[in-house]
Structure 1
Amino acid sequence: MTSDTDTTCDAFLGGRLTLRQPRRGYRAGVDPILLAASVDARPGQSVLELGCGVGAALFALATRVPSLDLTGVELQPAYADLARTNAAANKFSAKILTADLTDLPPDIRQRRFDHVIANPPYYRPQTGTSPAATDRAIAHREATPLAEWVATGARRLKPRGTLSVIQRADRLTDLLGAMDTHLGSITMTALHPRPGRAASLVIVKAIKGGRGALTLAPPLFMHRGDTHLSDGDDYTDAIRAVLRDAAALPTGP
């Protein structure tokens, strides 16, 4: 159990959501908020997040879409405890389980969900420099293969349910390859730091039982202009609406 001195309380979505996070270690940023904004959930539907951390994506989605049936699975007990704290503080009814996604509890294995979301570790094993803090290393560096995240998510979906994953753009081939076995009607949205720069992230959504062709959605640009010219954020209007106003991620031009 973490103490208040070990954590900070941070505002998201223009103050609509507050999250207690570790002062040191992995801290939620923009990526889980973008993931949540990509999910076409409707009130009353069920959502499972694999690797929910402190609940940033799960609760950002719940802030935008009311009356969701929320379940989160988190490997690290301290983060799962914080997710439970954050659910209570934000008045969400959510079931947060401390478990490995490769060994889910029986009650989760027996359920099917309308939506599964995930922000898996971005880096393959043995690549780059691992973060010093163990919890950050677990969050950033893959231990469970990306294909297993996808397979687990697909198994937990209802027919026609959707799996939504945010990942580094250079892992796109891994992600699409994993989805090919289990899912279809895939939509890929590239997130570019600025106009003229290569995409750094992708959000990939797929449907269980979908048979449609791969769709490339219009690209989204995080920041205005070719370079950062002044202090303060320079988010595009669409991204600012997502981050500040709890808007859905735009799906068209």
Structure 2
Amino acid sequence: MSGFADSDLTCNDFLGGRVRLYQPVKGYRAGVDPVLLAASVCASEGDSVLELGCGAGQGLLCLGARVAGLSLTGVELQAAYADLARRNGALNGQVVEVIEADLAALPAPLRQRQFSHVIANPPYYRAGGHSPSQDAGRRIALGEETPLAAWIEVAAKRLAPRGYLHMIQRADRLPDMLQACAGRLGALEVLPLAPRHGKDAELVILRARKGGRAAFRLHAPVILHEGARHERDGDSYTAKISAVLRQGAPLRWPQERP
């Protein structure tokens, strides 16, 4: 895939304008999922972060905007999106190392490194599980080509001892995620994300720790929208989620203190 021309891009605000991102007019465009993922990461100044499948850099840049002093590295398969992630890093004044590579065949120098955190927003749909997009960028971003278990295996290898994986996925993929963590990562926690009160969770965020031994925890769901149904134009996010999306607030896990 060749790079994007300026006429093929829009520039969009995230975190209330704290992050600005060039995104393709046609192709994969970031929604709230990578923002919620970045908000859930318990990173501190000086930590190193690797994102698998970083796209245009939205997850890394939102995390870097919330937590200063991080070392940010992204791996992206598609050359045009890798170039866009570098461009977005410069646009936001953040230093982001972007490596164009298949996560199943990482370059040797990267395989020698370990990170405090690995984050990932893998494709949601199993191969053959949805109608593929005609756009290559969207097709690769949304449709699984590398098995989900491989994402977790690579993440586990790249984590430093006691390092954390944070991954957002569809709720129906949770069994696959848990199975893939067995023997690789421990202290598993799941934060379900439900669209409204009384609705099943559609997404989950998994947190796992290399060398962790704590018991599995399934937390109460985080509710994204007010009300029992969509009743008006515009967003209806809860105050908690609005603070995450508009103000760059963290999405705290239940045991974490402000």
Name the TM-score class by shorter chain.
Answer: over 0.9
2:68 paired residue number: 66
Task: Verify the 8 A CA contact 2:193 2:204 in the aligned structure 1.
Answer: yes
| 1:46 equivalent in alignment to 2:48 | yes
Instruction: Report the more deviating stretch, 125-134 or 56-65.
Output: 125-134
In structure 2, C-alpha distance between the alignment counterparts of 1:158 and 1:251, rounded to whole Å: 21
2:233 paired residue number: 231
Q: What is the RMSD computed on CA atoms of the aligned residues?
A: 0.9
1:14 paired residue number: 16
Report how many aligned residue pairs link the two structures: 253
**Structure 1 stretches (4+) deviating beyond 6 angstroms?**
none
- Gaps in structure 1 of 5+ consecutive residues: none
| 1:96 equivalent in alignment to 2:91 | no
Task: Verify the 8 A CA contact 1:64 1:247 in the aligned structure 2.
Answer: yes
Q: What's the TM-score once normalised by structure 2's chain length?
A: 0.97
How many angstroms does 1:100 deviate by?
A: 0.4
1:214 paired residue number: 216
Q: What's the TM-score once normalised by structure 1's chain length?
A: 0.98
2:122 paired residue number: 120
Task: Verify the 8 A CA contact 2:130 2:143 in the aligned structure 1.
Answer: no
1:167 paired residue number: 169
Identity %: 54
In structure 2, C-alpha distance between the alignment counterparts of 1:250 and 1:141, rounded to whole Å: 29
Task: Verify the 8 A CA contact 1:114 1:161 in the aligned structure 2.
Answer: yes
- The one-letter code matched in structure 1 to 2:106 is L
In structure 1, C-alpha distance between the alignment counterparts of 2:6 and 2:151, rounded to whole Å: 32
In structure 2, C-alpha distance between the alignment counterparts of 1:87 and 1:112, rounded to whole Å: 22
Task: Verify the 8 A CA contact 1:218 1:251 in the aligned structure 2.
Answer: no
Partner-residue secondary structure (3-state), 1:102: helix
- Gaps in structure 2 of 5+ consecutive residues: none
In structure 2, C-alpha distance between the alignment counterparts of 1:140 and 1:120, rounded to whole Å: 8
In structure 1, C-alpha distance between the alignment counterparts of 2:15 and 2:37, rounded to whole Å: 13
Partner-residue secondary structure (3-state), 1:210: coil
Partner-residue secondary structure (3-state), 1:18: strand
Deviations 1:139-161 (A, max 9, x none): 00100000000000000000000
In structure 1, C-alpha distance between the alignment counterparts of 2:243 and 2:151, rounded to whole Å: 29
2:157 paired residue number: 155
